[in-house]
Amino acid sequence: MSADPALSKPQDPATVNALVARLESGIGKKPKEHGFSCKKSTFTIEDTVHNVDSWKFQEQDFKKHTLPTYARGLFTWRDKVSGNYRIAIRGYDKFFNINEVKCTKWEWIADNTKAPYEVTVKENGCIIFISGLPDGTLLVCSKHSTGAREETEASHAIVGERWVDKQLAQIGKTRRDLAETLYNANVTAVAELCDDSFEEHILAYEGDQAGLYLHGINYNLGDFATYSMPEVHKFAEEWAFRKIDYVVKDDVQQLRKFLEEAAETGSWDGKDVEGFVIRCKARTDASDPNWEDWFFKYKFEEPYLLYRQWRECTKALIAGKEPRYRNHKEITREYLKFASAYFIQNKGAADQYKMNHGIIKLRNAYLAHSGLKGADIVRMDLEEKGTGQDSNLKLVLVPVATIGCGKTTVAHALTKLFGWSHIQNDNLTARKGKPQAFAAACTKALVVCPAVIADRNNHQKRERKQLIDDMSPGVNQAHFVALNYVHHSSTDKDLQDKIREITRKRVLSRGDNHQTIHAATKNNSEIIGIMEGFLNRFQSVDIDEFPDRSFDNVIDLDPLKESRENLETVVKALHHAYPKLVPEIPSAAALDDAIKASFDEYKPAIKHTIKGSATPAPKRAQTQPQQQTSKKVDVDYFSVSLPPSIIVSAVEKAIATAPEEKRAYYYELKSAHRVQQKFHVTLLHNANKSQNKEMWERYIKLYSDAKAVGEPMGTGTIKLESVVWDGRVMAITASLVGDKWECANNIPHVTVGTSVGVKPKESNDMLEGKWRNGDIGVEQIDLSAEGIEVTGKVEGVKNGKF
Ligand code: GTP
Ligand code: MG
């Protein structure tokens, strides 16, 4: 019952010593300077003299080609007698999701891998490594740790150990037996700890489903080498591990077909699964004679992602925070309502949930209540994606670039082709609060347009996060798509230099045809200084981590290529992902024309200066900020402006669920296009200033002070109370949250729409004169239980203009 000695591959001391020396060299180093950085943690193990060191790399370094090993999970120890280092535990080489990196694109897979393709179910727990030390000690580790950890009651490794003991008891073996077997074979057993009584993940493992699922046996070598699945199964049977399911596919076509079919339901063999890990052999390129063990994963999106979203939102709910979510909004709202009621009815459930217990129970209770299954949700998701335009899907195209990459050229061309909205950061004149203003302008654009190009460099994660965070609450079903002008490449070390060269050339010959970069009137070194700043700060898109994980799609573009080619890449990718929005790819001639028109039209509407590192004090003549303080302040009213999508969806939802007879007036307004496009709560109108002198003066002062420094007055939050209407006007009554702002009206409200010939201000008369008195003919739907709070900018408005 030992591992087959024929499988054994011993460690070569010189190779391992060299590996550890390289690992040591990377401790605390900067990846940029050293190629990689790593962290060492040393653990003492009970009952043995051997200490083990765990090595941890930075996740993003796995995508580079500079690591000493790609093992994710690696422990070494030193033989005190010989002084040689030895590998104690060796995880799999880091593997990537399909399409995540170049070598997980189907084309690469077809060219550089070979069958058999062992497709294993990706179990959803946490990874446990098991191996033996020379003195017969059994070593059980999680990815980067072993033994008990103070902060958690039972660490993963300890729980794993308990399961191993249980298995060994079943077969009448000892820890020493297993340790010796593993040590002699020079391998690490790799298993998934799936045990809901310890920690729940997304998929259920209860009762007899729980345990250690053995999914691999790796040689303890620097280079990745691992047992085949039949060998893994054999070992699992011998040592009472749970086995993982797998199928074998004989070629790439069959493999792809199998995976894509399974993705349609998010399940396999009648069970919800997270995805698959595919094991095969690969070579680095066609000229490489060595085939090595190589893995990639194929993760399903739904319903797994939805379940994870629910788990995170539920935790926010329990913590009293606002749950943030971007997809499946409708069903998630319903789920959260159910969850709130559930926690009220089930005392103690919330505390349990916080400790990761009852996650699946609550989810299943909701699914049973709603009559939905995981497969229904996958179908809904596909429909939602497929029907783009019809289902109110809104696209936010987010360039990630530096100066001169051609963002504006491509954006102009897209607006030409599809009539989409194009918001240029460089056209916004308010200096401070600019990021917020930019996001607000993009949000606003989406009210009337299915897509907006958020034209600024977005070259730092901070900017991407701000844009996504600021836009998400205001736009129902927003899909963020990165137009990723790739700046780092593992195959082209000189890419940055080439980008520098080409963008400088373009920008310097652009002359003054730009809002902020005036190449004809500034000296070149100044411009170059500004451009260098962007290049140095550039942070690549990393879809594994937030904020870039929030991108629904990333379209890779090449800054060295002509904008015409990048335009075509964008259009094709969008056509593929959003066929309803881009039903067909425009002809080559149409693309040519769009780019040509873009070049011809290139003349920005606004000019202002920015400060660069090498910029002297801006010349006054060039600076034309619109926010000059005027002595005489001319404001018609002060108001809180509100995101239209939230107001419209609140009303639509209330109306849709109201009895038949209550729906007519709203639908009448809607079909006559009499629902407002913009919404606000008036705080104080010029007409009422004499009765509210102190308030008026206070607001005027705030307004002037804010305007002088180019900032907005601030933000205000209101809560929606009731939708109220008569046959002439519809409004939502609101209450102000907090005491920062006052409202001169007795009943603060948002006008939703009016019949032809009726002025919006009549809503106040309707509320004050009729609704308050309970007049007949005034209808209402209460919204207060929904708890809808809306935040917007407080502004001074003149004739509908800020
Ligand atoms: P900033 O707004 O300064 O960050 O730049 P941007 O990324 O918006 O680049 P823009 O589209 O303004 O392009 C920079 C300059 O290069 C402009 O003068 C464009 O006309 C020019 N340009 C853009 N694409 C191409 C191209 O494909 N070929 C050539 N020759 N010039 C291009
Ligand atoms: Mg531009």
Write out pLDDT tens, residues 628-659: 333 467 889 999 999 888 899 899 888 888 88
Q: What is the mean pLDDT of residues 211-225?
A: 95
Say yes or no to pLDDT of 607 above 90.
no
Ligand 1: residues with CB < 6 A are 401, 403-409, 426, 457, 506-507, 510, 514, 517, 562-564, 599, 602
Give CB contacts under 8 A, 24+ apart, made by 756-761: 756/672, 756/674, 758/728, 758/729, 760/676, 760/729
Alpha-carbon distance of 401 to 413, in angstroms, equals: 17
List the shell of residues around ion ligand 2, using CB closer than 5 Å: 408
> Ligand nearest 596 Cα, by number?
1
The arithmetic mean of pLDDT across residues 606-623, rounded, is 36
Looking at 32, 40, 64, 122, which residue is catalytic? 122
For residue 336, what pLDDT is reported? Answer: 92
Q: Within 10 Å of residue 653's Cβ, how many Cβ atoms?
A: 16
Name the E strands within 457-534. 478-485
Specify the CATH number for 391-601; select among 3.20.20.80, 3.40.50.300, 3.40.50.800, 3.40.50.720.
3.40.50.300
pLDDT for residue 617: 30
Q: What is the pLDDT of residues 374-398, one digit of tens each?
A: 777 767 766 655 544 445 688 999 9
Per-residue pLDDT band for 618 (boundaries 50, 70, 90) equals very low
The residue to mutate among 402, 405, 408, having the most atoms of ligand 1 within 8 angstroms of its beta carbon, is 408
Mean pLDDT calculated for residue range 774-785: 82
* Mean pLDDT, rounded, for 746-763: 89
Q: Which atom of ligand 1 is nearest to the CA of 412?
A: 11
Least confident piece of the model among 26-35, 760-769, 786-795: 26-35
Residue 293 is predicted with a pLDDT of: 96
Nearest bound ligand to the CA of residue 458: 1
CB-CB contact of 68 with 17 (8 Å): no
* Ligand 1 atom having least distance to the Cα of 515: 2
> Mean pLDDT, to the nearest integer, of 410-438?
81
The preferred substitution site among 410, 506, 512, 518 for testing ligand 1, maximizing ligand atoms within 8 Å of CB, is 506
Residue in the block written with tokens 């002008």: 485
pLDDT at res. 207: 61
Smallest CA separation from ligand 1 atom 5, residue: 404
For the chain, the structural domain boundaries read 5-98+124-243, 99-123+244-299, 304-386, 391-601, 630-797
Confidence of residue 2 (pLDDT cuts 50, 70, 90): very low
Give me ligand 1 centre to Cα 406, in Å.
4
Instruction: Specify whether the CB–CB gap between 53 and 145 falls below 8 A.
Output: no
Nearest CA to ligand 1 atom 25: 563
How would you classify residue 187: left for phi > 0, otherwise alpha for psi between -120 and 50, otherwise beta?
Answer: beta
What is the chain's mean pLDDT, rounded?
84
Q: Per-residue pLDDT for 406 more than 70?
A: yes
Label residue 524 by pLDDT band (50, 70, 90).
confident
Report how far ligand 1's centroid is from the alpha carbon of 115 (Å): 46
**Amino acid, res. 421:** S
- Is 793 catalytic? The answer is no
Averaged pLDDT, 86-104? 92
CA–CA separation, 528 and 17 (whole Å):
47
Mean pLDDT of 535-548: 86
User: Residue 263 is which amino acid?
Assistant: A
Helix, strand or coil, per DSSP, at residue 136 = coil
Count CA atoms closer than 13 A to 190's CA, side-chain side.
25
Q: Which helix (H) or strand (E) holds 452?
A: strand 451-455
Is 630-797 the same fold as 391-601?
no
Q: Which of 234-243, 550-559, 611-620, 726-735 has the lowest mean pLDDT?
A: 611-620
Phi, psi of 192, rounded to the nearest 5 degrees: -105, 125
**pLDDT > 70 fraction of the chain, expressed in percent and rounded:** 87
Question: Which ligand is closest to the CA of 399, given by its number?
Answer: 1
Mean pLDDT, rounded, for 599-625? 43
Place of tokens 């919404």: 679
Read off the pLDDT of residues 317-344 as tens digits, 9 standing for 90 and up: 999 887 877 677 778 888 999 999 999 9
- Specify the CATH architecture of the domain 5-98+124-243: 2-Layer Sandwich (3.30)
Name residue 71's beta-bridge partners: 93
Cα 404 to middle of ligand 1, angstroms = 5
pLDDT higher than threshold 90 for residue 558:
yes
CA of 433 to the centre of ligand 2 (A): 20
Residue with tokens 């191993």: 164
What's the pLDDT tens digit per position in 144-185? 888 755 444 347 788 889 999 999 999 999 999 999 999 999
pLDDT of residue 577: 82
Label residue 624 by pLDDT band (50, 70, 90). very low
Question: Which pLDDT score is estimated for 219?
Answer: 97
Q: Are 215 and 120 in contact (CB under 8 A)?
A: yes
In 3D space, the residue among 408, 467, 413 whose CA is nearest the CA of residue 439 turns out to be: 467
The C-alpha R_g of the chain, in whole angstroms, comes to 31
Q: Which fold has domain 630-797?
A: 2',3'-cyclic nucleotide 3'-phosphodiesterase fold (3.90.1740)
CA 439 – ligand 2 centroid, Å: 16
Q: Which one is predicted more confidently, 383 or 187?
A: 187
pLDDT class of 428 with cuts at 50, 70, 90: low
